[in-house]
Amino acid sequence: MSWNKLEGIDFKRENRSYIDALHAILTAAGRFAGTKSMLSGMTGMAFKFIIHEHLSESSMTAYGYWGKEHGEAAERLGWANVSPGGYIRHPTFPLARKQAERSIKLSIDRGLGVVFWLPEFAVIHGYDDEDKVYFYRDGWSQDEQVMLYDNFGVAGNGTPFWFYQLLLDKWDRPEADIYRESLRAAVSEWETPHKTAPDQAFASGRLAYDYLIQALVSRRYSASGGTYILKSYAEIKRDIVAYLEDIQSELGLTEAVLQAYREVDAVYRHICRFIRADEGTAALDQASFPALLKNVREAKELEEKAVHELKACIGCEDRLPGELDIALWGIASPR
């Protein structure tokens, strides 16, 4: 019987749990030294803007078929990876769970934790064959959590699907190529209307703002989802500004690009003022709806301008060596 546990996993959920988890794994392994905003930008994850028609909290994770989305995110960094996943109801799930056990333990023995769906995304960082358990962190508690091998994909999971990602090996990509490709992905994300086709309950990029506005106008939305989404995206817009400032000199980004995204960030900071605390929970301030809607519409206009400036600055006509194919229409529903 064997046992292994990785130390130094500092996993805290903030605004996008996949990035939080990936950052924890890579920094603990000494394979990434940058900030979360840098990792979010380099992978292209910072530029995913998805809104559910009724502002479901799942907007923050329903950004397409995870094997593709997370695979591309890791590939941009130069990591070869695999992302197994599927539905718990499938009769082959017990076999997949057994394969997951072998793969996860091998990854940990190689010094790399594993991102998995809990939900949201969390980190497995150890195992014990005698007790047949994984050690994992959920990002909410500072305490280490324990899960039986046989409960993988089931315990604590109120969704019908399971998922994990294995980082295999890394090749060195020129940083300028990573930066430029991530910004081209930003343009693609903005111009892609749906990432979960044929399911159109979620909209992406430019169209996502229309979904957000319509939900607010109709008042048909999840109160907890609305506040969670707006607060999370406010932090993500701030991450985008930090990322662009870090890579500005490397790519020769114009001040117009930076200023445009700073204006988007400023509007989101103002939007967050409309979120108030009600007996320990967050809610949108109903009395301030006209002002909130005005700010959301302004955010859409400013982000359109920002993407226009970015597109003009980086150019999107020529492919970079080894650049990934970014689909302009999703290939599968996240559910």
- With beta carbons less than 8 A apart as the criterion, state whether 178 and 76 touch: yes
- The whole-number mean pLDDT for each consecutive block of 10 residues of the chain, a chain of 335 residues, reads 91 95 98 97 98 96 95 97 96 97 98 96 98 96 94 93 97 95 97 93 98 93 90 97 97 96 97 73 72 95 97 72 44 39
CA torsion angle for 165, 208, 324, 161 (degrees, to 10)? Answer: 20
The predicted pLDDT at position 230 comes to 94
Per-residue three-class SS string for the chain: CCEEECCCCCCCCCCCHHHHHHHHHHHHCCCCCCCHHHHHHHHCHHHCCEEECCCCHHHHCCCCCHHHHHHHHHHHHCEEEECCEEECCCCCHHHHHHHHHHHHHHHHHCCCCEEEECCCEEEEEEEECCCCEEEEECCCCCCCEEEEHHHCCCCCCCCCEEEEEEEEEECCCCHHHHHHHHHHHHHHHHHCCCCCCCCCCEEEHHHHHHHHHHHHHHCCCCHHHHHHHHHHHHHHHHHHHHHHHHHHHHHCCCHHHHHHHHHHHHHHHHHHHHEEEECCEEEECHHHHHHHHHHHHHHHHHHHHHHHHHHHHHCCCCCCCCCCCCCCCCCCCCC
272: which 2 tokens?
Answer: 């967050």
Q: Give the pairing type, strands 50-52 and 121-128.
A: unpaired
Are 37 and 45 in contact by the 8 Å Cβ rule? The answer is no
User: Which pLDDT score is estimated for 287?
Assistant: 75
pLDDT of residue 283: 67
**Which of 47, 48, 22 is CA-nearest to residue 35?**
22
Distances (CA, A) of 224 to 12, 147, 229, 247: 20, 28, 9, 35
**pLDDT for residue 321:** 46
How far is the CA of 283 from the CAs of 53, 198, 210, 214, 222, in angstroms? 18, 31, 21, 18, 10
Residue with tokens 């707006």: 230
